[in-house]
Amino acid sequence: MGAEHTRDLERLAVRARAGLVREIDHSGAWDEDPVWREAFAEVPRHLFVPYYFVGVPGGYERLWGEHPDPKRRERWLRGAYADEPLATRLRDGELVSSSSQPSLMARMLVGLRVRDGDRVLEIGAGTGYNAALLAHRVGAGNVTSVDLDPEVAESARAHLAAAGHPTTVVTGDGARGWPERAPYDRIMATCALRAVPGEWLGQCAPRGRILAPLSTGIVALDVAEDGQRAQGRFLHTSAYFMALRGGVGREPEPSLSGLPHPVLRDELFRFLLTLTSGRREPRDVLELWEREGRPERERFGVTVRGDGRQWAWLDDPEGPHTWELPGTP
């Protein structure tokens, strides 16, 4: 690659990153905490996705930054700054790792409500980009990222070092957290769960916060003063992540047989159906959803107790509409 073309790519990267920041601006993702704008403006996403895959008929096409064709390199770089998720690792034709949609990442980071100097545990290292954004805000020494796949962890570690954010990236079962560096002020998962692992509550400091994808939403739990309870509601946004491997991953898809076709296209109903899968019959779920006025995500919440019990609820954690989550006694 010639020096002039390298400089051209660097200039293109600056313009593309500015364009991504403007797009997230327009989405309103960080309206409640605009400090995150600086992190997205400063952290170069393309360093974390030296290659990625785009869907084509019959499979995937690989784009990478070292392609001999200059046009292909430019296509790779522009795609790296699109406000879209990027498939970054395939195994036997199946996606095993990705870089999430940046505007969704921004909404989750805002929902985490970090403060300067907070100690943060990230479950699911991915490319390392999310950890770099966190490190920009709270300092690289305050971020720990854990991933079950040693190749994913090693790749994220290398990307973070190259980008100047040498955070701690470890290989392990994220469902067990990482007690060696606990307690954490914030715990953030970037993979889908069926329930919140009890170990996380034990590793989160009193008055800390746990944020994780659950069903097709994102729940934000505030840890009580005594550390024995965490409770909170879902954010407004939808979210679709790969399941946590090695622990309480995504719930199996619920049966949709016998339900009317129009309701199956309603994203909010699918959220509730997945949240209650295995605890309520689909038709009962539909009856509840319609009777309660087709509730938005923010009306739902989750409570986790130190004794291992946890449940999801509508409107009131002690009200009539509650569902035990998997793995509880």
Tell me the pLDDT band of 252, cut-offs 50, 70 and 90.
low
Domain assignment of residue 207, yes or no: yes
Based on the domain organization, do 163 and 201 belong to the same domain? yes
pLDDT at 3: 62
Q: Where does a domain end: 186, 214, 233? A: 233
Q: Which of 91-105, 208-222, 283-297 has the lowest mean pLDDT?
A: 91-105
Does the pTM surpass 0.75? The reply is yes
Based on the domain organization, do 270 and 156 belong to the same domain? no
pLDDT at 327: 59
Based on the domain organization, do 218 and 277 belong to the same domain? no
Q: If you average pLDDT over residues 255-264, what whole number do you get?
A: 73
pLDDT at 12: 92
Domain assignment of residue 243, yes or no: no
The Cβ-side half-sphere exposure at 311, using a 13 Å CA radius, reads 15
Q: Among 97, 99, 103, 145, which one carries the catalytic annotation?
A: 97
For residue range 28-68, list pLDDT tens digits in order.
999 999 999 999 999 999 999 999 999 888 888 999 998 99
Q: Where does a domain end: 233, 249, 279? A: 233
For residue range 173-202, list pLDDT tens digits in order.
999 999 999 999 999 999 999 899 999 999
Q: Where does a domain end: 195, 215, 233? A: 233
Q: Is 97 a catalytic residue?
A: yes
Q: Is the pLDDT of residue 310 over 70?
A: yes
Q: What is the CATH number of the domain that holds 222?
A: 3.40.50.150
Q: If you average pLDDT over residues 91-95, what whole number do you get?
A: 76
Nearest to 303 by CA among 289, 288, 314: 314
Domain assignment of residue 249, yes or no: no
Q: Is the pLDDT of residue 247 over 60?
A: no
Based on the domain organization, do 67 and 122 belong to the same domain? yes
Q: Is the pLDDT of residue 258 over 90?
A: no
Tell me the pLDDT band of 253, cut-offs 50, 70 and 90.
low
Tell me the pLDDT band of 329, cut-offs 50, 70 and 90.
very low
- The token pair that represents 41 in the structure block: 């403006």
Based on the domain organization, do 153 and 290 belong to the same domain? no
Q: Is the pLDDT of residue 153 over 80?
A: yes
The more confident residue out of 137 and 5 is 137
Cβ(300)–Cβ(221) under 8 Å?
Answer: no
Domain assignment of residue 199, yes or no: yes
Residue length, the chain? Answer: 329
Based on the domain organization, do 272 and 216 belong to the same domain? no
Q: Is the pLDDT of residue 241 over 80?
A: yes
Tell me the pLDDT band of 115, cut-offs 50, 70 and 90.
very high
Domain encompassing residue 81: 3-233
Percentage of residues of the chain with pLDDT beyond 90: 74
User: Residue 11, class by beta-carbon neighbours within 10 Å (0-12 exposed, 13-18 middle, 19+ buried)?
Assistant: exposed
Based on the domain organization, do 57 and 198 belong to the same domain? yes
Nearest to 287 by CA among 308, 274, 275, 272: 272
Based on the domain organization, do 221 and 296 belong to the same domain? no
pLDDT at 246: 57
**pLDDT, averaged across the chain:** 91
DSSP 150-205: HHHHHHHHHHHHHTT---EEEES-GGG--GGG--EEEEEE-SBBSS--HHHHHHEE
Domain assignment of residue 112, yes or no: yes
Domain assignment of residue 253, yes or no: no
Based on the domain organization, do 85 and 128 belong to the same domain? yes
For residue range 263-305, list pLDDT tens digits in order.
878 899 989 988 987 778 888 999 999 999 999 999 999 999 9
Count up the domains in the chain and report the number.
2
Based on the domain organization, do 20 and 150 belong to the same domain? yes
Domain assignment of residue 47, yes or no: yes
Domain assignment of residue 244, yes or no: no
Based on the domain organization, do 196 and 99 belong to the same domain? yes
pLDDT at 37: 97
Percentage of residues of the chain with pLDDT beyond 70: 93
pLDDT at 298: 97
Based on the domain organization, do 22 and 167 belong to the same domain? yes
